[in-house]
């Protein structure tokens, strides 16, 4: 293998990183579109999974009628949308179709440049393995999406909150893996002597807390828990609702009780806000790089906006635009927290 100059290696790394950030942007858009699909009750409109042949929508009224007839056999139509006509079905179908189509496009946008960079010899063995891992995660995400949809096609016309949260968490993991690798290609990270070990640990604690908080939001969405207890800061008339954790065994309250699930999400989000405020003040006493200080400031800003979005969305009883923005905000907080941890590591 011919040796290349440092400047040429850097140029290649920058190009690969830009491509990876484009993939992150597409996955982010996928998450937002998926949120809108759920909020508009469109996610169960496609009752078949055709990963290879599903690139095209129904063509002509005859094909639309066939697809609609299949939907009529689903629990959602029979229990919720029994009076829906073909025009109404088309309205919800397009959201789910675009969501699935976008996922396929992400696969193409990832795979084609990956093969190009691999054939050009731009990827080391270690980097190629990381790229293959990303691609496998993407394939698993497609399977998880269909596994989630199947849960709403049996008896209950709603997807399992467990599968919904798993689907969302895998999207965050994909973004996190790609972001970590892309940042490493774009910047030459070295251990920062001006950053104390406790602050570095604090940054990773915040990242982990942001991830758990986002997952708790998945259970809120899966149970439609945001449509209840639409007051703040009181919940059910109290700071500590009297009927918390009534299910047995107790751990089920983390996943299946609407009151407890929403309460947990509130507490996690409030603690995250406090942690970031304390972290921001502590970071001011450390000798951070310009990028590191920018990351810390961005993290503080997006957490503040996300907190305000969450409260507003709750008080207004989950309007679709605000709810979608709040889900997008969770992803942005996750990205900012990981970037901050990377800069301070």
Percent of the chain clearing pLDDT 90 (strictly above):
87
- Best CA proximity match to 114, nearest among 101, 100, 127: 127
Q: Where are the beta strands (DSSP E) in 116-173?
A: none
**pLDDT score, position 192:** 63
Give the C-alpha separation, 340 to 254, whole Å.
29
- Is the model's pLDDT at 213 over the cut of 60? yes
- The answer to whether the Cα torsion of 293, 271, 257, 314 is positive or negative is negative
**pLDDT score, position 188:** 75
pLDDT digits (tens, 9 = 90+) for 158-194: 999 999 999 999 999 999 999 999 999 998 777 666 6
- The answer to whether the Cα torsion of 32, 36, 37, 39 is positive or negative is positive
With beta carbons less than 8 A apart as the criterion, state whether 83 and 32 touch: no
Give the C-alpha separation, 189 to 201, whole Å.
17
Q: How confident is the model at residue 53 (pLDDT cuts 50, 70, 90)?
A: confident
> Beta partners for 235?
238
- Best CA proximity match to 104, nearest among 62, 57, 60: 57
Distance set, CA 102 to CA 31, 52, 53, 169, 278 (Å): 10, 14, 14, 18, 39
Q: How many CB atoms lie within 10 A of CB 16?
A: 21
- Is the model's pLDDT at 1 over the cut of 60? no
pLDDT mean across residues, the chain: 94
Give the C-alpha separation, 263 to 241, whole Å.
8
pLDDT digits (tens, 9 = 90+) for 87-128: 999 999 999 999 999 999 999 999 999 999 999 999 999 999
- For residue 331, give the DSSP letter: H
**pLDDT score, position 189:** 74
Region 328-334: mean pLDDT is: 98
- Is the model's pLDDT at 154 over the cut of 60? yes
- Is the model's pLDDT at 223 over the cut of 60? yes
pTM for the whole structure: 0.94
Q: State the DSSP string of 57-91.
A: ---HHHHHHHHHHHHTTSHHHHHT-TT--HHHHHH
**pLDDT score, position 191:** 64
**pLDDT score, position 5:** 87
For 235, phi and psi rounded to 5 degrees? -135, 120
pLDDT digits (tens, 9 = 90+) for 89-99: 999 999 999 99
Give the C-alpha separation, 41 to 96, whole Å.
9
Peptide bond into 233 cis (omega under 30): yes
**pLDDT score, position 245:** 94
Q: How confident is the model at residue 257 (pLDDT cuts 50, 70, 90)?
A: very high
**pLDDT score, position 2:** 58
Query: In this structure, what token pair is assigned to residue 212?
Result: 């758990």
Query: In this structure, what token pair is assigned to residue 172?
Result: 């965050």
Query: In this structure, what token pair is assigned to residue 175?
Result: 């973004």
Q: Cα 161 to chain center, whole Å?
A: 15
> Beta partners for 238?
235
Identify the weakest region by mean pLDDT among 131-135, 241-245, 263-267, 285-289.
285-289
The secondary element (H helix, E strand) that includes residue 266 is helix 258-283
With beta carbons less than 8 A apart as the criterion, state whether 89 and 45 touch: yes
- Is the model's pLDDT at 289 over the cut of 90? no
Q: How confident is the model at residue 285 (pLDDT cuts 50, 70, 90)?
A: confident
């Amino acid at each position: 293998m011919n040796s290349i100059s440092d400047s040429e290696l850097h140029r290649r790394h920058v190009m690969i990183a830009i491509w990876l950030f484009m993939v992150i942007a597409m996955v982010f858009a996928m998450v937002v579109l998926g949120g809108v699909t759920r909020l508009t009750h469109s996610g169960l409109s496609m009752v078949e999974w055709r990963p290879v042949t599903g690139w095209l929508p129904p063509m002509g009224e005859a094909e639309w009628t066939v697809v609609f007839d299949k939907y009529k056999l689903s629990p959602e139509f029979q229990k919720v949308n029994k009076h829906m006509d073909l025009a109404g079905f088309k309205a919800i179908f397009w959201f789910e179709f675009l969501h699935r189509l976008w996922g396929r496009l992400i696969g193409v946008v990832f795979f084609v440049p990956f093969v190009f960079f691999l054939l050009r010899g731009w990827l080391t063995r270690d980097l190629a393995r990381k790229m293959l891992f990303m691609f496998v995660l993407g394939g698993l995400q497609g399977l998880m999406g269909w596994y989630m949809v199947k849960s709403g096609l049996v008896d209950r016309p709603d997807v399992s909150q467990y599968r919904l949260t798993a689907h969302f968490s895998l999207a965050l993991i994909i973004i996190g893996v790609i972001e970590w690798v892309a940042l490493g290609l774009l910047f030459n990270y070295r251990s920062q002597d001006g950053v104390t070990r406790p602050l570095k640990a604090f940054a990773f604690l915040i990242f982990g807390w942001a991830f758990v908080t986002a997952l708790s939001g998945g259970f809120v969405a899966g149970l439609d828990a945001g449509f209840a207890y639409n007051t703040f800061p009181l919940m059910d008339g109290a700071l500590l609702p009297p009927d918390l954790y009534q299910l047995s065994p107790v751990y089920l309250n983390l996943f299946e009780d609407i009151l407890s699930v929403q309460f947990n999400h509130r507490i996690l989000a409030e603690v995250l806000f406090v942690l970031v405020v304390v972290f921001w003040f502590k970071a001011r006493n450390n000798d951070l790089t310009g990028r590191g200080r920018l990351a810390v400031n961005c993290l503080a800003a997006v957490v503040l906006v996300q907190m305000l979005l969450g409260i507003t969305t709750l008080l207004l009883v989950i309007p679709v635009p605000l709810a979608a923005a709040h889900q997008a905000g969770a992803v942005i907080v996750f990205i900012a927290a990981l970037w901050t941890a990377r800069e301070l590591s």
